[in-house]
Amino acid sequence: MHNFILLICKIAAGSYTKDMRKAGNNNICSVAARAGVSHSTVSRVFHRDPRITWETAEKVFAAARELGYVPEKRGTPTLGVILPIPNFDSYTSMAFAAVYREIQKRRWYCELIPSSDISMLGDRYLSGAIEILAGPNFLDEWTEHFVQPVVTFCHSDRATNNVYSVTSDGIADMERVVSYLTRFGHKKIGLLLGHSIREEEEAENHRCSGFLNAMSRRGILSPERYALFHNHGTLEERLDTLLKYGVTAIIVLSGEFGISLLDIIHHRGLQVPRDLSLVAWEFPNVSEFQNPPLTALLPDVDKFAATACDMLVDLWNRRKLSNVSPIPGILIERQSVSAINGAKGV
């Protein structure tokens, strides 16, 4: 296990208390009665007392889920940040940095947790968690063993079993990028994605459908042939396919793929943007230093982090969550896009 995962980030000095009371039938005594244990045992379970057996904890968690009970959290919260180890990429790095800044601003405590080993939480209490692209298996494990709320980044909005989500506005993002390239005279625009068709269908950000809709609105026939997933071949093979279709611009996800594609294009004897314009997802502190610097879409991870933390506060205070709109990204114009056919790009 990576050493940094075991790091406990103490953001601010202070202590926190736990108030397990709740009005109505779904209180600590109701959970104790349903589980067949004492209310003090329920309290110890939620405070991760190491003297409690896993079998007893399982009974208490099951009773809490059946009653819809979540322990109240008062004082300084301790927030878990679930990271996708070993699949730690540029987006995860950006998202974690934004979450850390937001937690620091709020003077909360933070613990970093690998999605592959949340059992390390067995002896500690969390107020809730934020999960960054850890995958559906993590969510299933969380809902089975924990009753604290978790807010996920870019997963389907399950909104059940205390799982909630904030998502990218892939439709708005793709409309913005396609519109931007269209202003430069580009009509045949390709999309290269770093995941499979199945993963796209399960995603909540709808980037591919946003791309297809944006292309269709501009009169492009059969736009789906311009959207290629990783199961359509290697990056080199997919580039060749798009070039055969006569594309003049490519949108590539993710940031790492943008860097790789730029290198492949150069080795083919082509120049960006003279021969082919390129828009990638932002790779922080890398995209701007490429040759040429890459025009990129930056996910608004700061808004993601603030929204997720606001949602957790509402959940802790038992306020009804308002509908959370998908969050669009920010287009950063650099030098990897040029005009064709006399277009001015304005």
DSSP string computed for 128-192: EEEEES--HHHHHHHHHH--S-EEEESS----BTTEEEE-B-HHHHHHHHHHHHHHTT--SEEEE
What's the CA gap between 90 and 94, in Å, rounded?
6
Phi first, then psi: give them for residue 131, nearest 5 degrees: -115, 130
pLDDT of residue 70: 65
> CA–CA separation, 166 vs 17, rounded Å?
28
| Strand arrangement of the beta sheet that strand 277-281 belongs to | 227-228, 189-192, 249-252, 277-281, 295-298, 330-332
Report pLDDT for 50: 72
Longest dimension (CA), the chain: 78
Beta strands 109-114 and 8-9, pairing class: antiparallel
Kindly report the backbone phi and psi dihedral angles of residue 93, in degrees, each rounded to the nearest multiple of 5, phi listed first.
-60, -45
Rounded to whole angstroms, the Cα distance separating 199 from 308 reads 23
Structure tokens, 192: 């290269």
Tens digit of each residue's pLDDT (9 = 90 or more) over 12-35:
222 222 333 333 456 788 888 888
pLDDT given at position 13: 24
Q: Which whole-number Å values give the CA distances from 183 to 114, 171, 177, 180, in the listed order?
A: 43, 18, 10, 5
Residue 64 phi, psi (nearest 5): -65, -40
User: Which residues make beta-bridge pairs with 82?
Assistant: 113, 131
Separation of alpha carbons 195 and 216, rounded Å: 23
* pLDDT given at position 44: 79
> Which helix or strand (DSSP H or E) is residue 80 part of?
strand 78-83
* DSSP-assigned beta bridge partners for residue 297: 281, 331
pLDDT of residue 345: 59
Residue type, 326: P
Q: Which domains does the chain have, with CATH numbers?
A: 170-300 (3.40.50.2300)
pLDDT at 8 (0 to 100): 28
Dihedral of the CA atoms 101, 103, 105, 109 (nearest 10)?
-130
* Helices marked H in the chain: 28-35, 39-46, 54-67, 90-106, 136-145, 170-183, 197-202, 207-217, 235-244, 255-267, 301-316
Task: Kindly give the parts of the chain with pLDDT less than 50.
Answer: 1-24, 123
The pLDDT value given to residue 124: 57
Q: What are phi and psi of 321, to 5 degrees?
A: -75, 135
